[in-house]
Amino acid sequence: MSSMNETILIAAIVVYGLFIIFGTKWVFEFMMARNMKENVAIYYNRKILHMFCGGLIGAMAPSILSEPIYALYIGIVFTVITYIPYYTGHLLYWVQTNDNKNDVNFCFMAGVSVYIIWELLGDPYLAIMPLLFMAFGDGVTGIARNIKFGYRTKNPIGNVFMAIVCIPMGYYLGDLSNPALPIWGVIAAIVATFVERYEFGPIDDNILITVSATIVLFIGNEVGPLTG
């Protein structure tokens, strides 16, 4: 694919992402009209963005991107888009709060993790695995906790749902890689699910999920398949 076509594709992805971001404003107003707590509505919207923006774009990456560098470009663009409201003080109030800038970390880690794995291991299916753990696994985790508790918490019930989503995903994507590493995909899913419960200051669960899963995949690539 030519660089011009890639530029048009990236522009289309950014437009799609902006459509989802601003579309969740309607979702926020819908939830608020039904007397939902503001912090709960914002948290739901963040998880919608996790899945329908980061998750779907990431899932399509192996099919639509010809080089890993384009994944990095997309991640940087969305990092800037999400950071600007914090910098200017004009928050996207339906998805952002001053005390939690994890959406910026999500965008940055998405682009960086896909780029590094794809560039160094040469496999787009392994490359999107940590991102999809972060997007769909952590997304489902947050929704489950929000339904049960109505506020942001690290209760382990969320990790149960994350494991249900991530373990088969890790197996499937690992099986698509060359060489096939399905068991390493499962191990990466388990590790990512475990570390999701923790945060250390600016090092949030988005960073821990992608970094830990990436480390496991690099180890798996060096050791090789665990099945015959």
Query: CB count, 10 Å around CB of 195?
Result: 18
In this predicted structure, what is the pLDDT of residue 155? 87
CB 182 within 8 Å of CB 174: yes
Q: Residue range 31-51: average pLDDT? A: 93
Integer angstrom CA distances of residue 77 from 35, 62, 82, 107: 34, 19, 9, 8
Domain ranges of the chain: 3-223
Residue 201's pLDDT is 82
Mean pLDDT score, 96-111: 93
Cα–Cα distance for residue pair 135/59, rounded to 1 Å: 10
For 227, the 3-state DSSP assignment is coil
154 falls in which pLDDT band (50, 70, 90)?
confident
pLDDT band at residue 228 under the 50/70/90 scheme: low
- Write out the E strands in the chain: none
Mapped onto helix, strand or coil, the DSSP state of residue 97 is strand
Q: How far apart are CA 211 and CA 195, in angstroms?
A: 10
Write out the two tokens for 204.
């949030």
**pLDDT higher than 80, residue 40:** yes
Q: How far apart are CA 141 and CA 144, in angstroms?
A: 5
pLDDT surpassing 80 at residue 4: no
Average pLDDT, the chain: 93
Measured CA distances, 63 to 59, 69, 137 (Å): 8, 14, 21
Model confidence band, residue 3 (pLDDT cutoffs 50, 70, 90): low
pTM score, whole prediction: 0.93
Q: Looking at the predicted structure, is the pLDDT value of residue 1 above 60? A: no
